[in-house]
Chains A and B, each alone.
Chain A
Amino acid sequence: MAITIEHLYHVYQQGSPFQSDALEDIDFTIENGDLLALIGHTGSGKSTLAQHLNGLLKPTSGRVLVDGQNINAKEADRKALRQRVGLLFQYAEYQLFEETVYKDIAFGPKNQGLTGKELDHRVRRAFARVHLPQEVLEKSPFELSGGQMRRVALAGVVAMEPEVLVLDEPIAGLDPKGRDELMEVISDLHRGGVTIVLISHNMDDVARIATRVAVLDKGRLAMLGTPREIFSRGDELEAMGLDVPQTVQLCRKLRAGGVDMPDCLTNEEVCAAILAARGRTAHA
């Protein structure tokens, strides 16, 4: 399922002294099967864009099309849309409210009208995908650690079995272990055929798993391309207050130190490039 964004503008609190232009002329397509990383400085409009993808915010002007259908058209079925495009908010652990983790995960599918065996299946399948210990299922969500709560919240969205999953900074504030585990869950979902939009400040993760990267700068789409294309423009990224992955930083430092090597994204590529460079110096 593809989401096309056409000349999207969003202005918050238009006409008041607090007016702010959050998005300006965003125009691109999220293809079926993408793992699109959305990066940008704080306040660049990432969360605002995310909320347009399932119709929680309405464009000030422009359109959002899901499979060619304008989602803000009068006759559009918003409920069906939200089932197809799942959205995990920033700090999603604060949305939990039920007595048990099981019931909380069941909230979404229940709103879709599922009951009985089917509902139970959905909940257990979603729970299994986020790799939590089995006993957590009957606990109160408020007894869990922050990282566990975050994963329960993710399960709550996954349980709706959306075709596109939008994740707003899912790893912000997690410890390294929680972060790696959650990234693993996201990769798994992507391999399972879910189209993913991942908002993240962690460029190493983006370099490792994204198929495409969109860069927002002050509400505008500044760049769009493969991770390799984007991260080869390190100076421009830095001008926008963004990092490049550590692998790319290392390559640039080595080059500055006189080692002849290209920009590499993964650890394996860096190793190979260093070995190749050493081979060349040994021959010389």
Chain B
Amino acid sequence: MLKDITLGQYYPVKSFVHDLDPRVKIILTIAFIVAVFLGSSLWAMIPITAFILLSAKAANLPVKLLLKGIKPLRIILIFTFLLNLFFSAGETVLLQVWKIRVTQEGLMLAIRFSMRLVFLVTGASLLTLTTQPVVLTDGLERLMSPLARIGFPAHELAMMMSIALRFIPTLLEEADKIMKAQMARGADFESGNLLQRARAMVPLLVPLFVSAFRRAGDLAMAMEARCYHGGEGRTRLRVLKITHKDYVACAAVAALIVICVIIG
């Protein structure tokens, strides 16, 4: 039940996008976000949507999976849409009921804002679905490493992130198991009012925290036993390398940015 969360879960297939260098993918994701903000007209949504569909194709991902990532955001999406629809200033009135009116400008704005949200989430999902968490943090560490010279803890941050990412599925699995164990003892996580439901979480949360701390302690011990001492002088197992595929991907995103700027 808890395992149905897809946002950020790696999708293990072989593809052009999977093979890209994580540093390049991170930068391109940021560039894609810039493109989404540059293309402010409705027309710009066509090339952006086309780009996402093409990327999904190149990444060998079913589009359904990308859309699944949006599902948890549907409340926010609807809220954004309605807020922009009803509360933006505009001239051309399309519909008026009592004091509430919908203008053409408002409708445009509402579509634009909600589509932007969808684009941002799918863009980020494209990155996380095609990049293993460890590789992703590796790329982040390398990108941040120039900052290490001015005292920024790039390695430590990346290490913390990869450990956290590594343990998310483990903790979900554990939560699932504890939940079932308590349900076997008659616990009820589904019914009751807010207060009752919050109280019902205690038998789940206490064992979960206890085991998270135990795991953290064990892991720290195991790392120390293997002489972990931070990032200094550490060599890597996976050496990142830019290939011709990365140049192709860069060109594609650059083209998207240019198109968005032209359309405006």
C-alpha spacing A142/B207, complex, angstroms: 10
Candidate in B3, B174, B180, B188 with the most chain A CB atoms within 10 angstroms? B180
Report the minimum CB–CB distance from A67 to chain B (whole Å): 19
Q: Is the pair A89, B177 in contact by a Cβ cutoff of 8 Å?
A: yes
How far in angstroms is the closest Cβ of chain A from B217? 14
A56 and B184: CB pair below 8 A?
yes
Contact of B186 among A13, A94, A112 (CB under 8 A): A112
Contact call B184/A89, Cβ cutoff below 8 A: yes
Q: Is the CB of A95 within 8 A of B207?
A: yes
Q: Which residues 124-161 in A have Cβ within 8 Å of B in the complex? A: 142, 156-157, 160
Contact yes or no, B186 A83, CB < 8 A:
yes
A/B pair count, beta carbons within 8 Å: 59
Min CB–CB distance A83 → chain B (angstroms): 7
> Which residue of the partner chain A has the closest CB to B177?
A89
B146 within 8 A of A: no
Interface check A54, CB cutoff 8 A? yes
A111 contacts B by Cβ under 8 Å: yes
Contact check, A94 vs B184: say whether CB atoms are below 8 A apart: no
Chain B residues bordering chain A, tally (CB within 8 A): 22
Which residues on the B side are within 8 Å of A119 (C-beta)?
Answer: none
Asked if A157 meets B206 with Cβ closer than 8 Å, knowing A13-B3, A17-B13, A89-B177, the reply is: no
- Proximity bits, A50-88, B CB within 8 Å = 1, else 0: 010010100000000000000000000001001100110
Contact at A17–B185, with CB atoms within 8 Å? Answer: no
A95 contact set on B, CB distance < 8 A: 178, 181-182, 185, 203, 207
| CA–CA, A56 and B13, complex, Å | 32
Known: A94-B178, A111-B188. A56 touches B183 (CB 8 A): yes
A108 beta carbon closer than 8 Å to chain B: yes
Tell me the bound Cα distance from A25 to B72 in angstroms: 36
In the complex, whether A96 has a CB less than 8 A from a CB of chain B is yes
Contact A94 B207 (CB under 8 A): yes
Q: Is A102 an interface residue (CB 8 A)?
A: no
Chain A residues within 8 Å of chain B by Cβ, number:
24
A89 / chain B contacts, CB cutoff of 8 Å: 177, 180-181, 184
B178 touches A17 (CB 8 A): no
Q: Taking A97-B202, A97-B206 as contacts, is the C-beta distance between A17 and B183 under 8 angstroms?
A: no
Min Cβ gap A44→B in Å is 18
Nearest Cβ distance between residue B169 and chain A, in whole angstroms?
11
Interface 0/1 of B169-205, CB less than 8 Å to A: 0000010011011111111100000000000001100
B12 with A17: CB separation less than 8 A: yes
Which residues of the other chain, B, contact A54 by a CB distance below 8 angstroms?
A: 184
Q: Which residue of A lies closest to B182 (CB)?
A: A95
Bitwise interface map of A from 32 to 63 toward B, beta carbon under 8 Å scored 1, else 0: 00000000000000000001001010000000
User: Given the complex of chains A and B, what is the CA–CA distance between A51 and B180 in angstroms?
Assistant: 9
Contact check, A94 vs B210: say whether CB atoms are below 8 A apart: yes
What CA separation (Å) do A56 and B183 show in the bound complex?
A: 8
Report B217-259 CB contacts with A as 1/0, cut-off 8 Å: 0000000000000000000000000000000000000000000
Known A17-B13, A94-B210, A97-B203; judge A108-B185 contact (CB<8 A): yes
- B41: Cβ under 8 A from any A Cβ: no
Interface assignment of A210: CB less than 8 Å from any CB of chain B: no
CB distance from B201 to the nearest CB of A (A): 11
Please, how many angstroms separate the alpha-carbon atoms of A56 and B180 in the complex? 7
Taking CB as reference atom, which chain A residue is nearest B11? A17
Is B211's beta carbon under 8 Å from chain A? yes
List of B residues within 8 angstroms of A56 by Cβ: 180, 183-184
**A231 close to B (CB within 8 Å):** no
Q: Which residues of A contact B206 (CB under 8 A)?
A: 97
- From B3, B186, B210, name the one whose CB has the most chain A CB atoms within 10 angstroms: B186
- By the criterion CB–CB under 8 Å, are A111 and B207 in contact? no
Q: Which A residues touch B187, using CB under 8 A?
A: 107, 111
A71 CA to B207 CA in the complex, in Å?
A: 29
> Shortest beta-carbon distance, A262 to chain B, in Å?
42
- The answer to whether B11 touches A160, judged by C-beta atoms less than 8 angstroms apart, is no
With a cutoff of 8 Å between Cβ atoms, the chain B residues found around residue A87 in the complex are 181, 184
Pair B180/A108 contact, Cβ less than 8 Å: no
Which residues of the partner chain A approach B174 to less than 8 Å between Cβ atoms? 94
> How many Å from the CB of A259 to the closest CB on chain B?
48
Contact flags (1/0) for A100-132 with B, using CB distance below 8 Å?
000000011001100000000000000000000
A-B contact pairs, 18 of them (CB 8 A): A51-B180, A54-B184, A79-B186, A82-B183, A89-B177, A89-B181, A95-B178, A95-B182, A95-B207, A97-B203, A97-B206, A97-B210, A107-B185, A107-B187, A108-B185, A111-B185, A111-B188, A156-B185
Give the 6 A-B residue pairs with the shortest CB-CB distance, closest first. A111-B186, A97-B206, A108-B185, A95-B181, A87-B184, A89-B181
Q: A56-B184, A94-B178 are in contact. List 4 more A-B contacts (CB 8 A).
A: A79-B188, A87-B181, A97-B210, A160-B185
Binding site for A on B (CB under 8 A): 3, 11-13, 174, 177-178, 180-188, 202-203, 206-207, 210-211
